[in-house]
Structure formats: structure tokens, C-alpha cells
């Protein structure tokens, strides 16, 4: 278990403000935030390569401030792979084992085993700089895992890979996490990586922890507009609570009365979050019932994405919905068409509007 | 297209003409000396094979090498500290390291002399255990060490700085202590810089004159001998000695440059 207690680090322009997080044993823990926010420093603080200006880092309940990196049983894989250029792939992987003074024969067999595991046995005698990024990343991971660390720290490991390699690597990471019951802390700016791998997620923006929790909670229920935007919630509105509905409140946003899952007091200024994936487009004559919010609407635009379509819809407010190609064909959706949109009140997440924003909160 | 490429860029052309002054100067001097010696080969050989000349050349080369060995021992740790740590007063330390570059060599000579003379703050305790710098081999080494240290330290420091910290960090998390990471990762990856720093320092050391004659006129290094011949025997003899040293230097540095191509070929890819 890794705990940060009010850890502050200042490094040049970057500042980490009193960060407190807790990574449990066996977690696949993601730290996500915009690029260039110095997330690497958090990993280096866990590894003991950076010392916090204040606060404590605990591993398994013990303050590790006096423990040097080589004694922490933590492996760190950097974004740039950091393979030793003067050693072959085999020597790179054997590096940690040689330091442990393990007999040559055992080193040999463990290196071979891990190279096999990652499908890079044929690269054993190659020099790192002659290989592709994907291959180098595999070597870096093999080198980190062969020493059997308790904790694996990953610094944007997928950012320099093409999509095909990335998908393969994500599958590898998932398998490693499952097989070895490893605690993994993975730093990235990519929501997609977090969605496909994380068990828990921390969102850090401008050096401050904005949210920490289970993956789905973080991606569905952001605490404020900043996080909502960052985790990619397509529909974010400002609204006012105007009444009570079934199991929640009614919020007025630009003339639409939206029923929500959570409840807030009347008159409260709130931020409304609805994921496009939760919005469905139906035939034009649907009427709202107790179960769904439903509004007459018009399709404004259809934007193709990698494996789905984003529909821009206006119903007094501008909403985004997702649709598959199949859906669009079956329903014959075209821009300008009249439809109705519906979404469940439980899919509508509300938070009090930030006090920092222009409108006063209640 | 073909035509265009043949028209020389006027800027590059004028730069080349102006810049060639420096090259011409050296070539002209070398040619003058060479022609004079080659046309009077028997005389050159008789001077160059004098035991005094051979001894002075050997002494200069060996003392320079000795200074480099000491720089390897003391300079590498300093270069690492300067490359990898931030501390208060670092700028001051950097300036102090650079002082021998800035100073006139006679001043460097006085600084070396007052430290290493028999009554000097370093010379005195050493003289009590029988180690003498004044007028001795070690004095020459001390002077060479002093004047060549900035060249060595700065070159090696550049090399250390070029090794990404991430490589060192990765080694640490794989179980290496700081020293092990230094020895197994940083050092091998900066071999070329250490090697070129050593050549630079050696060249600087064997070229020293002013600082050396103050602490050790005898035994004569090659510069002292050439100056001595110049003032006592005249231009003809001193030029012959100089040409002998030129030949030795050219051969040695040609060999070293050849060696350098083989050393640390990974450096470029760090």
C-alpha cells in the first residue's frame, strides 16, 4: 500500500499541493491529468528519486523518507523507456538481477523466461537503439518485472506507440496486473488508457488533487466542471434547481426542465453533466414519462469518430449523443431531422457550481 | 538546378576566405619550420637525438600524462557533482574551477609556486616526508594539473550532463546504489567525453611554460629547453628542437584521435 500524506513538491514551475492519495495493494491506480502537469514527479516521489518538501510518503504503513530507491522494491518505467544504450537487450534485462548477485545460470534462465513472456526472445542480442518504440517498451517492461518488484510505476507508457501496438500493450498490462497481483501506478493524460485498465483513478489538475475514486465514479461523477471537462463528459451545462422530481431534483437549463438523480436544494446554481453515451435518440413523438427525460429535438450535425458517431442535437440546449453506424442507418438519421432525445435521470449528475466561477452559489 | 548549385553563396564564400586566415597562419608557420629542417636533415637529426632533447620530450609527455591521471582521480567526482547537483554557491565553485583559464600563466605560476614551494602551505608538509615540488618532477606535474584542470572538469561535466537522468533513475529503481548507477551507466556512457577531456588536458599540460618555470626550471620540460636554446644558442637550434616536438605531438595526437573514434561509440546515441 502506498500513501501520500499532504505531500508538497515544488520543482521549477511545477508545484504539487498537499497531495493525499492512497493506493491499495493490488490496485491498478491511474493518475490522470493534463499533459505537462508534472505527474512524473509523483512517481519519482514514490520511487524515492524526489523528496517531498513537506508531507510523508508511506509504503505498507512505513515512512520511507530514509529508504533509498534501490531498497524500495519498486520498478519505474519511463515514457522514453530509458534502456541502457551501451548494453544489449539481454544485458538490460539482466541488470537488476546481476545487482542482486544471483547466480549466472539463474539470471540466464529468468531473463530468457521474461523475454519469452513478452515475445521478444529474438531481440536478446540486439542493441536498444536498433529497435522500434513498441519493442523498446516491451524490453523496458521486461527489465522492470524480472526483478519481481512489489510496485510497478508506469510513466505514460503508451504515449509513443501507434494504435496497434497500444492495443497489444494494454492487453499485456492487463495480463501482468492480473497474473502477478501487482500494484501498478500508471500516470497518463489519456482517458482512454484509464478507462481500459484502471481500478481506481486520481485526477490531478494544476498540481491539485481534484478527485479520487473508483474508475466509474470518476468518469461519471466529477466534482466540478474542470474534472468533468477533463474526463471527457461531452454535455456540461449550468443550471438552477427549480423543484423536486421523482428520486431527485428538477434543474432548469436553458428552458429545459431536466430531472436528475441526485438532489440539491431549490434555487441552487448547479453544474449538470450528461455523458453522450447515456443520451439516446428516438423517434420524434416520444413523450416524457417518469423513467426518462425526453425532449423534442433536431439533429444539427453528425460527426464521425473512430468507431462511432457523435450526434449534435438541439432541444433548446445543445446536446451530444452517441450512435453506432448501424443505428444511424436503421433510423435513417440525417442532419435537420426532427427526433426526440431521452436520457435517464440517473444519468444526470449535478454538482454545485464552483464558487470560483462568475455566478454566485447558494 | 544544376546551375544554381554551382553559384557559390556569397556569404559562405566570404566567411571561408576570412576564416582561412587562421588556417593559413598555422600552415604557414609549420611549412616554414618543416622546409627549413628538411633541407638541413643531418643537422636536425643531430639536434633531435641529443639526450637532452629526448629527455625533455619524454619528461614533458610523462608529466602531462601524470597530471591527467591525477585529474581522472580528482576531476571526475567534481565533474559529477557539478553535473548532477544543485547547491548554494554552485556558481561560485564553477567560477573557481574556471579561474586557471582566465589567468595569465605567470600568475598561475606564482599561485602554484606559493602553494608548492618548500615553505608553501602544501609544499612544507610534503617536504617533511621527503616529497619535494620545487625544482622537481612533481612541481611540473602540479603546475600542469593546475592549468589543465578546468579543461578536463568542464569536458567531463558536459559528458555527465548528456547522460539522461532517467537512465540513472531507472538503474536506481532496478537496485543500483548511486555509485553503482554511476559506475555501470553514467561512466560508460561518458567515456568519450572523459577521453577527449583527458586529451585536452594533456595537450594543455604539455604546452605549459610560464607556470612550470616558476616552480621547476629544472628538470627542463620541452618548452623550457626551447626557450633556453632560443636565448643561448639561437633560432637555428631552438627551431630544430621545436620541430622534433612538433613531430612527436602530431604522431601522438593522430593516434589518440584514431583511438577516440573507437571509444564510447554509444555516447552519440544517449
Which B residues, 51 through 70, put their C-beta within 8 Å of a C-beta on chain A? none
- Answer yes or no: do A69 and B169 touch at CB < 8 A: yes
Please state the separation of Cα A33 from the chain's center in Å.
8
Specify whether the CB–CB gap between A50 and A74 falls below 8 A. Answer: no
**A95 touching B, CB under 8 A?**
yes
pLDDT at A361 over 50: no
- Answer yes or no: do A82 and B189 touch at CB < 8 A: no
- Look at residues A261, A271, A286, A274 and name the one whose alpha carbon lies nearest to residue A341: A286
Stretch A284-294: mean pLDDT:
75
Q: How far apart are CA B121 and CA B143, in angstroms?
A: 15
Task: Kindly identify which residue of chain A lies nearest to residue B268, measuring between CA atoms.
Answer: A85
Specify whether the CB–CB gap between B63 and B133 falls below 8 A. Answer: no
pLDDT value of residue A358: 42
Using a CB-CB cut-off of 8 Å, the residues of chain A touching B171 are 84, 95
Q: Does domain B47-269 have CATH number 1.10.533.10?
A: no
Which of B168, B171, B174 would best serve as a mutation to test chain A binding (most A beta carbons within 10 A)? B174
Which B residues, 162 through 201, put their C-beta within 8 Å of a C-beta on chain A? 164, 166-167, 169-178, 180, 184-185, 188-189
Minimal Cβ distance to A100: which of B172, B175, B185: B175
Please state the separation of Cα A270 from the chain's center in Å.
25
Please state the separation of Cα A346 from the chain's center in Å.
23
- Answer yes or no: do A96 and B270 touch at CB < 8 A: no
Using a CB-CB cut-off of 8 Å, the residues of chain A touching B179 are none
- Look at residues A106, A168, A101, A102 and name the one whose alpha carbon lies nearest to residue A137: A168
Q: How far apart are CA B173 and CA A48, in angstroms?
A: 9
Q: Which helix (H) or strand (E) holds A58?
A: strand A54-59
Q: Which helix (H) or strand (E) holds B82?
A: helix B51-84
Secondary structure of residue A247 in the 3-state scheme: coil
Tell me how crowded residue A19 is: count the other CB atoms within 10 A of its CB: 23
Specify whether the CB–CB gap between A182 and A151 falls below 8 A. Answer: yes
Q: How far apart are CA A287 and CA A293, in angstroms?
A: 9
Tell me how crowded residue B264 is: count the other CB atoms within 10 A of its CB: 21
- Answer yes or no: do B169 and A44 touch at CB < 8 A: yes
Stretch A115-125: mean pLDDT:
92
pLDDT in tens, chain B (270 residues): 455 567 789 999 999 999 999 999 999 999 999 999 999 999 999 999 999 999 999 999 999 999 999 999 999 999 999 999 999 999 999 999 999 999 999 999 999 999 999 999 999 999 999 999 999 999 999 999 999 999 999 999 999 999 999 999 999 999 999 999 999 999 999 999 999 999 999 999 999 999 999 999 999 999 999 999 999 999 999 999 999 999 999 999 899 988 888 876 665 554
Tell me how crowded residue A143 is: count the other CB atoms within 10 A of its CB: 28
* Burial class for B245, CB neighbours closer than 10 Å (0-12, 13-18, 19+): buried
Q: Which three cell numbers stand for residue B42?
A: 643531418
Task: Kindly identify which residue of chain A lies nearest to residue B175, measuring between CA atoms.
Answer: A70
Strand partners, A301: A312
Q: Within 13 Å and on the Cβ side, how many CA atoms surround A89?
A: 28
Q: How would you label A22-54 residue by residue, b for 16+ Cβ within 10 Å and e otherwise?
A: ebeeebbbbbbbeeebbbbbbbbbbbbbbebee
- Answer yes or no: do B166 and A80 touch at CB < 8 A: yes
Residue pointed to by grid coordinates 492512497: A22
Residue-range domain boundaries for chain A: 2-220, 233-352
Task: Kindly identify which residue of chain A lies nearest to residue B189, measuring between CA atoms.
Answer: A86
Q: Which residues are within 8 A (CB) of A334 and not within 5 positions of it... i.e. 6 or more apart? A: A299, A302
Residue-range domain boundaries for chain B: 47-269
Tell me how crowded residue A240 is: count the other CB atoms within 10 A of its CB: 17
DSSP B118-148: TTSTTHHHHHHTT---TTSHHHHHHHHHHHH
Which of B165, B173, B183 would best serve as a mutation to test chain A binding (most A beta carbons within 10 A)? B173
Q: Which residues are within 8 A (CB) of A74 and not within 5 positions of it... i.e. 6 or more apart? A: A46, A47, A48, A149, A150, A151, A152, A153, B173
pLDDT value of residue A13: 74
Minimal Cβ distance to B266: which of A77, A85, A95: A85
How many angstroms separate the most distant Cα atoms in chain B? 78
Tell me how crowded residue B56 is: count the other CB atoms within 10 A of its CB: 23
Local confidence band at A356 (pLDDT 50, 70, 90 cut-offs)? low
Specify whether the CB–CB gap between B134 and B180 falls below 8 A. Answer: no
Specify whether the CB–CB gap between B110 and B214 falls below 8 A. Answer: yes
Specify whether the CB–CB gap between A97 and A62 falls below 8 A. Answer: no
Specify whether the CB–CB gap between A69 and B173 falls below 8 A. Answer: yes
Helix/strand number for chain A, H first, E second: 9, 21
Specify whether the CB–CB gap between A115 and A123 falls below 8 A. Answer: yes
Specify whether the CB–CB gap between B154 and B233 falls below 8 A. Answer: no
Q: How far apart are CA B225 and CA B53, in angstroms?
A: 8
Q: Which three cell numbers stand for residue A244?
A: 423536486
Residue A252: φ, ψ to 5°: -95, 120
- Nearest chain B Cα distance for residue A267, angstroms: 53
Minimal Cβ distance to A147: which of B164, B175, B189: B175
Strands A293-304 and A280-282: unpaired
pLDDT value of residue A274: 93
- Answer yes or no: do B176 and A144 touch at CB < 8 A: no
Question: For A2-220, which CATH class?
Answer: alpha beta
pLDDT tens-digit profile of A159-206? 877 888 888 889 989 998 988 889 999 999 888 888 889 999 999 988
User: CATH for A233-352, among 1.10.357.10, 3.90.1580.10, 2.120.10.30, 2.40.50.100?
Assistant: 2.40.50.100
- Answer yes or no: do B172 and A95 touch at CB < 8 A: no
Helix/strand number for chain B, H first, E second: 15, 0
pLDDT value of residue A288: 64
Q: How would you label A288-304 residue by residue, b for 16+ Cβ within 10 Å and e otherwise?
A: eeeebbbbebebbebee
Q: Which three cell numbers stand for residue A128?
A: 536498444
Residue pointed to by grid coordinates 518538501: A53
Amino acid at each position: 500500500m502506498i500513501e501520500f500524506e499532504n505531500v508538497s513538491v515544488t520543482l521549477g514551475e511545477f508545484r504539487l499541493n498537499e497531495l493525499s492519495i492512497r493506493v491499495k495493494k493490488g490496485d491498478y491506480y491511474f493518475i490522470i491529468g493534463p499533459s505537462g502537469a508534472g505527474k512524473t514527479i509523483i512517481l519519482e516521489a514514490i520511487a524515492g528519486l524526489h523528496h517531498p518538501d513537506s508531507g510523508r510518503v508511506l509504503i505498507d504503513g512505513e515512512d520511507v523518507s530514509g529508504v533509498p530507491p534501490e531498497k524500495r522494491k519498486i520498478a519505474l518505467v519511463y515514457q522514453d523507456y530509458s534502456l541502457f544504450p551501451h548494453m544489449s537487450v539481454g544485458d538490460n534485462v539482466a541488470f537488476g538481477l546481476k545487482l542482486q548477485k544471483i547466480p549466472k545460470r539463474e539470471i540466464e534462465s529468468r531473463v530468457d523466461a521474461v523475454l519469452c513472456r513478452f515475445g521478444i526472445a529474438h531481440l536478446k542480442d540486439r542493441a536498444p537503439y536498433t529497435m522500434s518504440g513498441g519493442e523498446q517498451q516491451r524490453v523496458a517492461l521486461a527489465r522492470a518485472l524480472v526483478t519481481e518488484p512489489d510496485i510497478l510505476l508506469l510513466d505514460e507508457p503508451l504515449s509513443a506507440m501507434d494504435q496497434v501496438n497500444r492495443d497489444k500493450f494494454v492487453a499485456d498490462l492487463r495480463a501482468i496486473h492480473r497474473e502477478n497481483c501487482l500494484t501498478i501506478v500508471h500516470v497518463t493524460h489519456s482517458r482512454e488508457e484509464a478507462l481500459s485498465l484502471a481500478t481506481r483513478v486520481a485526477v490531478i489538475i494544476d498540481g491539485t488533487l481534484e478527485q479520487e475514486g473508483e474508475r466509474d465514479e470518476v468518469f461519471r461523477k466529477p466534482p466540478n466542471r474542470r474534472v468533468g471537462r477533463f474526463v471527457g463528459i461531452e454535455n456540461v451545462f449550468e443550471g438552477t434547481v427549480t423543484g423536486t422530481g421523482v428520486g431527485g431534483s428538477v434543474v432548469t437549463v436553458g428552458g429545459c426542465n431536466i430531472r436528475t438523480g441526485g438532489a440539491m436544494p431549490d434555487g441552487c446554481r448547479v453544474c449538470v453533466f450528461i455523458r453522450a453515451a447515456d443520451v439516446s435518440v428516438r423517434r420524434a413523438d416520444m413523450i416524457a414519462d417518469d423513467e426518462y427525460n425526453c425532449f423534442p429535438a433536431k439533429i444539427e450535425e453528425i460527426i464521425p469518430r473512430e468507431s462511432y458517431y457523435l450526434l449534435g442535437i438541439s432541444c433548446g440546449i445543445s446536446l451530444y449523443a452517441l450512435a453506432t453506424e448501424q443505428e444511424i442507418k436503421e433510423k435513417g438519421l440525417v442532419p435537420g431531422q426532427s427526433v426526440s432525445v431521452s436520457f435517464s435521470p440517473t444519468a444526470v449528475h449535478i454538482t454545485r457550481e464552483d464558487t470560483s466561477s462568475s455566478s454566485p452559489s447558494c | 538546378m544544376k546551375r544554381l548549385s554551382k553559384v557559390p553563396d556569397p556569404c559562405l564564400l566570404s566567411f571561408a576566405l576570412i576564416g582561412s586566415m587562421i588556417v593559413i597562419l598555422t600552415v604557414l608557420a609549420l611549412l616554414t619550420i618543416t622546409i627549413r629542417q628538411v633541407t638541413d636533415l643531418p643537422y636536425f637529426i643531430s639536434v633531435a637525438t641529443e639526450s637532452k632533447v629526448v629527455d625533455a620530450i619524454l619528461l614533458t609527455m610523462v608529466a602531462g600524462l601524470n597530471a591527467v591521471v591525477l585529474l581522472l582521480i580528482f576531476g571526475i567526482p567534481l565533474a559529477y557533482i557539478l553535473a548532477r547537483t544543485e547547491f548554494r554557491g554552485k556558481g561560485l565553485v564553477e567560477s573557481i574551477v574556471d579561474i586557471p583559464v582566465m589567468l595569465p600563466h605567470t600568475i598561475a605560476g606564482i599561485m602554484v609556486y606559493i602553494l608548492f614551494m618548500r615553505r608553501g602551505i602544501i609544499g612544507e608538509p610534503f617536504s617533511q616526508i621527503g616529497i619535494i615540488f620545487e625544482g622537481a618532477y612533481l612541481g611540473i606535474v602540479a603546475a600542469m594539473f593546475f592549468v589543465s584542470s578546468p579543461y578536463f572538469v568542464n569536458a567531463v561535466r558536459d559528458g555527465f550532463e548528456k547522460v539522461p537522468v532517467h537512465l540513472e533513475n531507472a538503474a536506481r529503481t532496478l537496485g543500483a546504489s548511486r555509485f553503482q548507477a554511476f559506475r555501470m551507466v553514467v561512466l560508460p556512457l561518458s567515456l568519450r567525453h572523459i577521453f577527449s577531456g583527458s586529451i585536452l588536458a594533456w595537450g594543455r599540460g604539455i604546452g605549459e611554460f610560464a607556470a612550470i618555470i616558476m616552480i621547476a626550471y629544472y628538470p627542463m620540460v620541452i618548452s623550457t629547453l626551447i626557450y633556453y636554446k632560443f636565448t643561448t644558442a639561437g633560432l637555428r637550434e631552438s627551431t630544430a628542437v621545436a620541430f622534433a616536438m612538433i613531430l612527436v605531438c602530431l604522431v601522438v595526437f593522430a593516434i589518440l584521435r584514431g583511438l577516440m573514434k573507437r571509444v564510447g561509440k554509444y555516447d552519440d546515441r544517449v
